Amino acid sequence: MIIETLSADVKSVVDRWKDRRGNLITILHDIQDRYGYVPREAALEVSRQMDAPLARIYEVLTFYNYFKLQPPGKFNISVCLGTACYLKGAPALIDEIRGILHVEEGQTTKDGFFHLQIVRCLGCCGLAPVITVGDKVYSAVKRSDVMDIIAEYSKDSVKNG
Amino acid sequence: MKRVLIQDTNGKLKKETREFLVSLNSQLRDRGLSSEVQTLMAADIGVYNRGIALKVLPEGFTYVNLEQKHIPEIIEKTLLKGEQVAGIAREGSVGQMRIVLRNCGVIDPESLEDYIAHDGYQGLARALELGPEKVVEEMKKSGLRGRGGAGFPTWMKWNITRGVQGNEKYIICNGDEGDPGAYMDRSVLEGDPHSVIEGMMIGAIAIGATKGFFYIRAEYPLAVERIQKGIDICYSRGLLGKNILGSSFSFDIEIRLGAGAFVCGEETALIASVEGLRGYPRPRPPFPSVKGLWGNPTVINNVETLANVSYILCKGGEAFGKIGVEGSTGTKVFALTGKVRNSGLVEVPMGISLRDIVFEIGGGVLDNRAIKAIQTGGPSGGVIPEQFFDTPVGYESLQKLGSIMGSGGMIVLDENDCAVDISKFYLGFCVDESCGKCAPCRVGGTQMLAILKKISHGKAEEEDLARLSQIAQAMQKASLCGLGQTAPNPVLSTLKYFMSEYRAHVIDHKCPAGKCSSLVSYRITREKCTGCGMCARVCPADAISGSRQDKYTIDAVKCISCGQCFDVCKFTAVSRQ
Amino acid sequence: MAMTKEDLLAIKNKTLAGQPKNWIRVGYSTCGIAAGAKEVLEVLSGEVKARGLELQVKKCGCLGLCSAEPLVEVSVEGAPRVIYGKVNKDVAHKIMDEHVCQKRLVEGHIYEI
């Protein structure tokens, strides 16, 4: 994140939606799309530019699960915990990932490569249990598959990291 | 050329099915028909638990419970003469009926032409001709009730808002599909976006709205993209904006993204979210139909409801009203998932039995295990045990059983699923999603969840069971919104039907389904153990030791009851208690 | 140019008249894409081009049978219209070789919905 451009970035987002009534959530979505999360500096900037108290920004940010306040890892691992995935063994997948990466839900590994998050229903219940890494979806995942999936990306991170 | 599709049966009948095919092929060869008939295995011809089954194309005859002795007659009559063979033909088949999903998988969702070719925007044209009053009349004839959960008659909702004075009125499409296990709304938004846009426009005509909002989950980027493309193309072709189809009707639509809050399924919370605020519900009245978005009269309809609306206006309310049963007309889309063979979306006429949905369309339970119950309505619904599977599907009939239709989640539970565990899952979801505004929901939910956790760890007392239902009743009566009022339903319905299972946890400290890990222990039966060591390799706690000669044993102190040894053992030497 | 009611009918008739005789529909919703529909679509479109076939390959929504995704529906003259499930690259090639070209249905992947 480049602080110098942040103010201009936020301005372009705020300007884009300034005529829209009730635009705060839309603006925060755009900011998260850009940075992968909503940095505190950006929230402050939104507060300044919209002339709204910071508390007003944060009451929305903290209410909705979708908004993230921490930077994501290089690879985001999302485990679906919708009903179908839950019944078909998603909790065991979470255990396995925790064990391999030594992170809890919502945390990023020390090297910044992997971030583990639990999501509610990705809407692919027929393929349960489902996990996604970045944009790639893995379906009907078994506990024994988890190591291989993570290994795929670990190699990447060694190569490019 | 004729085709014979034989259902691939992977279970007990695998060998017999293969033999049947071999025999059929050799008889075809003997009669010199090999080049005129193609025989092949098909993954699924939609027939279950009826022995060997096949289907002949192009006639479409389906034969069931077959034996090799039937082959000559099938060749003689059907393959040579195109006639049906009596006695083995499938009878009384149960099928799906596609109204909401009529275009899903049929049209290109990004093509307006394709939608119009499939009668698209005919309903809108008709609604413009009829005018508001008659549109409502048409909806009344159809008997359509809201598909989002509560089942309030759509015409009535519209009629109330139509009657309210106001300069500006709004219509919102609720696409914030929150039930973790239902995804029909996503499928319709992605597969047939114009049907929902058209439905919204018809609603707008009825109530006199000038502006509509799609409120869609941010987790559904493809749905958002397809609706946005749909809206854009409508503007460019004059189907949105001013003077639509040359009439005096003008209408605008924009999309608002949800941000992950189950409570926004509640109308007043959803409205707050569209306004850019946190999704807090507020007491009603005033109802949104009178005082909604920015204080203006507002109607909120669910995606599936609106997809029905465009169909109803096109085909007529009366015709729609004849589908289904009295009080629950039309069809319902269910997201049939869990331990079922064909998991996916099914659309069936109301009044069909739960058994037909699960066994005839869904193909029965996965891996031929015994069914325990089905759960409908997600976190606001309840479980229905097998003795009630012949109940016809409808709003009231499901309610009588202690569940609800809800948005259409239908989860199949098998013998390995635990009643306590599943209620803990749903309640945990609601506690997570409770907005915290009112105490009954915030405190009640947390307390109930604590008790359920105690039960699943075998640490509860008998009084806890009574406490559970007490708190549940308080939550139902005193919570501010639908989330808190319905959150105890999964617990209450499992208490009602699976009390003995709760008692087993509390009194015997056992989990009959073997799911609650602190109540389960594993041991290895020496006689069955081959000493392969698979279990020791997968054990994450290093609790299994042994050798090929000595066989393997589990150290109960180290064991964390994860069950991986149980899953991995090919010789059923690991037993669970 | 704003549309009128008459235009609706004209578009409908024109689109229906222009419907291709031979077509393949690929279920292209979130679940289908998650299961690999993109790859399948590429193979099918690529083959149609390479072989110079008169065959429309179209992206569609979800047919509903999510556990059998990716789903591909095929309708070509000389063979019955069927739905194939659990289609991967190999099966997609087979659909082109066997079903489209030889008019023989592909073994093991037909699903009735």
The verdict on residue A124 lying in a domain is yes
Residue B267 contacts C, CB cutoff 8 Å:
no
Q: What does the pLDDT profile of chain C (113 residues) look like in tens digits? A: 578 889 999 999 999 999 999 999 999 998 899 899 999 999 999 999 999 999 999 999 988 898 999 999 999 999 999 999 999 999 999 999 999 999 999 999 999 86
What's the domain range around A105? 75-160
Assess B61–C contact: CB distance below 8 Å, yes or no.
Answer: no
Task: Give the H/E segment covering residue B252.
Answer: strand B252-257
Judged by CB atoms closer than 8 Å, whether chains meet at A127 and C65 is answered as no
Give the pTM. Answer: 0.93
- Identity of the residue in B38, B57, B105 whose CB atom sits nearest the CB atom of C104: B38
Interface test with C, best of B6, B7, B35, B38 (most C CBs within 10 A): B38
* Span C74-90, pLDDT tens digits: 999 999 999 999 999 99
pLDDT at A159 over 80: no
Q: Which residues of B touch A121 (CB under 8 A)?
A: 179-183, 219
pLDDT recorded at residue C113: 67
**Count of domains observed in chain A:** 2
CA-wise closest residue to A92 among A137, A33, A146 = A146
Is A53 within a domain?
A: yes
A70, part of any domain: no
- The residues near C23 (Cβ < 8 Å, ≥ 6 apart) are C55, C56, C57, C58, C74, C75, C76
Is C5 a member of any domain?
no
pLDDT in tens, B408-428: 999 999 999 999 999 999 999
Chain B residues in contact with A65 (beta carbon < 8 A): 259-261
Fold classification of B521-576 is Alpha-Beta Plaits (3.30.70)
B window 169-208, beta carbon within 8 A of A:
177-183, 186-187
Mean pLDDT value across residues A61-76? 91
C-alpha distances out from residue A17 to A10, B236, B383, B451, C89, Å: 11, 21, 45, 47, 44
Q: Which residues of C62-94 are buried (b: 16+ CB within 10 A; e: fewer)?
A: bbbbbbbbbbbbbbbeebbebbbbbbeeebbeb
pLDDT score of A161 more than 50: no
Q: Is C16 on the interface with B (CB under 8 A)?
A: yes
The mean per-residue pLDDT over the stretch B334-354 comes to: 94
Token digits of residue B25: 């092929």
* Beta-carbon contacts of residue B508 (< 8 Å; ≥ 6 apart): none
- Hey, are the CB atoms on A124 and C65 less than 8 Å from each other? no
Residue A71: what pLDDT?
87
Side chain identity, residue C42: E
Whether residues A59 and A81 fall in one domain: no
Please judge whether C35 and A127 are an interchain contact, meaning their C-beta atoms are less than 8 angstroms apart. yes
Looking at the structure, tell me whether residues A28 and A53 fall in a common domain: yes
Most C-contacting residue of B104, B216, B225, B336 (CB-CB within 10 A), to test interface:
B104
Cα–Cα distance, B426 to A83 (Å, whole number): 8
User: CATH second-level architecture of B419-506?
Assistant: Up-down Bundle (1.20)
Mutate to test the interface with A, among B219, B333, B376 (most CBs of A within 10 A): B219
Contact A120 B429 (CB under 8 A): yes
Residue C62 sits in a domain whose CATH number is: 3.40.30.10
* Cβ of residue B58 closer than 8 Å to a chain A Cβ: no
Tell me: pLDDT of B328 over 80: yes
Task: Using alpha carbons, select from B231, B230, B114, A130 the residue that is nearest to residue C59.
Answer: B114
- Check CB contact of B116 with chain C, cutoff 8 Å: yes
For residues B460-465, average pLDDT: 96
* Chain A residues closer than 8 Å to B220 by CB: 123
CB within 8 Å of B405: residues ≥ 6 apart: B149, B151, B332, B376, B377, B393, B394, B395, B398, B399
Instruction: Tell me the domain boundaries of chain B.
Output: 2-81, 112-320, 325-414, 419-506, 521-576
What single DSSP character describes residue B83? P
Say if residues B193 and B109 touch (Cβ distance below 8 Å): yes
Which of C16, C59, C60 to mutate to test binding with chain B, by most B CBs within 10 Å of its CB?
Answer: C60
% of residues, chain A, pLDDT over 90: 71
Whether C38 contacts chain B with CB within 8 A: no
| pLDDT mean over B229-256 | 96
Q: What average pLDDT is seen over chain A?
A: 90
b/e map of C25-51 (b: 16 or more CB within 10 Å)?
Answer: bbbbbbbbbbbbbeebbebbbebbeee
CB A60 within 8 A of CB A24: yes
Residue A1 has pLDDT above 60, yes or no: no
Q: What is the pLDDT of residue B128?
A: 97
CATH superfamily of the B112-320 domain? NADH-ubiquinone oxidoreductase 51kDa subunit (3.40.50.11540)
Instruction: Say if the Cβ atoms of A119 and B219 lie within 8 Å.
Output: yes
The span from the CA of B69 to the CA of B483, in Å, is: 59
CB contact under 8 A, B107 and C2: no
Fold of B2-81: Glutaredoxin (3.40.30)
Does A82 map to a domain? Answer: yes
Is the CB of residue C73 less than 8 Å away from at least one CB of chain B? yes
Both A123 and A86 in a single domain?
yes
Does any domain span residue A69? no
Beta-bridge partner residues of A155: none
Considering the domain architecture, whether residues A99 and A41 belong to the same structural domain is answered as: no
Q: What is the CATH number of the domain that holds A114?
A: 3.40.30.10
Give me the pLDDT at residue B517, please.
87
Facing residue for B109 by CB, picked from C14, C33, C61: C61
Using an 8 Å Cβ cutoff, are B317 and B142 in contact?
A: yes
Domain match, A48 and A108 both: no
Helices (H), A51-117: 54-63, 83-87, 90-101
Q: Do B276 and A124 touch (CB under 8 A)?
A: no
Q: What is the DSSP letter of B266?
A: S
Domain assignment of residue C61, given as a range:
20-111
CB contact under 8 A, A65 and B261: yes
Q: What is the pLDDT of residue A160?
A: 46
Can you tell me whether residue A108 is helix, strand or coil? strand
**Whether residue A156 sits in one domain with residue A80:** yes
Q: Give the pLDDT band of residue B56 (cuts 50, 70, 90).
A: very high
Q: What is the pLDDT of residues A71-127, one digit of tens each?
A: 888 999 999 999 999 999 999 999 999 999 999 988 899 988 999 999 888 888 888
Task: Give the pLDDT mean for B243-247.
Answer: 94
* CA–CA separation, C6 and B101 (whole Å): 27
Which residues between 464 and 483 in chain B have a beta carbon less than 8 angstroms from any beta carbon of chain C? none
Measured distance CA(A94)–CA(A73) in Å, rounded:
17
Return the residue of C nearest to B340 by Cα.
C67
Same domain, A55 and A119: no
Q: Are residues A80 and A152 in the same domain?
A: yes
Contact criterion met (CB below 8 Å) for B235 and B242: no
pLDDT digit string, tens, across residues B367-394: 888 999 999 999 999 999 999 999 999 9
Q: Is residue A68 part of a domain?
A: no
On chain A, the residues whose CB falls within 8 A of the CB of B278 are 59-60, 63-64
What average pLDDT score do residues B454-477 get?
Answer: 96
Contact B185, B302 (CB under 8 A): yes
How many domains does chain C fold into? 1
A53 and A110 both lie in a single domain: no
Using CB atoms, which chains have 3+ pairs under 8 A with B? Answer: A, C
Query: Can you name the CATH fold of B325-414?
Result: Ubiquitin-like (UB roll) (3.10.20)
Q: Do A88 and A108 belong together in one domain?
A: yes
Q: Where are the alpha helices (DSSP H) in B436-498?
A: 439-456, 462-478, 482-486, 489-497
Q: Judge contact between A70 and A37, C-beta under 8 A.
A: yes
For the record, the structure tokens of B333 come out as 């889309």
Shared domain for A79 and A155, answered yes or no, is yes
C11, C80, C107 ranked by CB distance to B116: nearest: C11
Rounded to a whole number, what is the distance in angstroms from the first to the last CA of chain A? 18
Q: Looking at beta carbons, which residues of chain C come within 8 Å of A123?
A: 30-31
A79 and A55 assigned to the same domain: no
